Amino acid sequence: MTDSDAALLKYVARVLGDLRRRYRLDGLHWPPELESLRLLVASEGLARPILDFDADPGDCLAMTYEEAARKLAVSSRTVRRLVASGELPRVEIGGCSRIATADLEAFAEGLRRERSA
């Protein structure tokens, strides 16, 4: 990798970080596609590592059952029942069961559509 490639990746990492902060400050949802790009740039080892321990679960691509329950304002037991019934899909990440943020949003949108129909 050339020096100009490294400089470009550092610039892209900085711009994505700034944009993500602006999204959060404005109360906007950070798109999963941009988060994937941000992680890809950081994984090149040229940008500073991303250690965002206080990340908003809305910024993550997947969340725990407890985080999903908080977003839906239900118990984690209810989320487990929704997963067991197949109403809410789960993903396995390194042997850990998680709920994809996009799946949770699609589930909630489906509830809104049912209610308005």
What radius of gyration, in Å, describes the C-alpha atoms of the chain?
Answer: 17
pTM confidence score = 0.51
Cβ atoms 47, 9 nearer than 8 A: yes
Q: What is the pLDDT of residues 16-52, one digit of tens each?
A: 888 888 888 888 888 888 877 877 777 665 444 444 4
String of DSSP letters for 10-38 = HHHHHHHHHHHHHHHHTTPPPPHHHHHHH
Question: What's the distance, CA 91 to chain centroid?
Answer: 13
